[in-house]
Amino acid sequence: MPDDEPDFSDVQGGSSSISTDQEVDRTYTVRPGDSLSKIAKALMGDAKKWRVLYEANKDVVGSNPDLIHPGQVLKIPKA
């Protein structure tokens, strides 16, 4: 192999993602039996913050905040 060509023989595949959203602290994957108010209470300290959680995740949850599904990944806004 010529010396002027890069050697990528030891490179392994993979991916990473970095959130640049300054308003998001972390994410949470919905489990069976979860509701936005339960998640808000556990992770944001107040069940009444479910609306903030919903607003941050409308694109995932859809138009009905009472209908979340296991496996959905929600952004948890900074408190």
Q: 31-77, what's its fold?
A: Membrane-bound Lytic Murein Transglycosylase D; Chain A (3.10.350)
Domain ranges of the chain: 31-77
Instruction: Tell the burial category of 23 from Cβ atoms under 10 Å away from its Cβ (0-12, 13-18, 19+).
Output: exposed
In the 3-class helix/strand/coil scheme, how is the chain assigned residue by residue?
A: CCCCCCCCCCCCCCCCCCCCCCCEEEEEECCCCCCHHHHHHHHHCCHHHHHHHHHHCHHHHCCCCCCCCCCCEEEEECC
pLDDT per residue as tens digits for the range 14-72: 443 444 455 667 999 999 999 999 999 999 999 999 999 999 999 999 999 999 999 99
Which phi and psi angles does 28 have, rounded to 5°? -140, 135
Q: Give this prediction's pTM.
A: 0.69
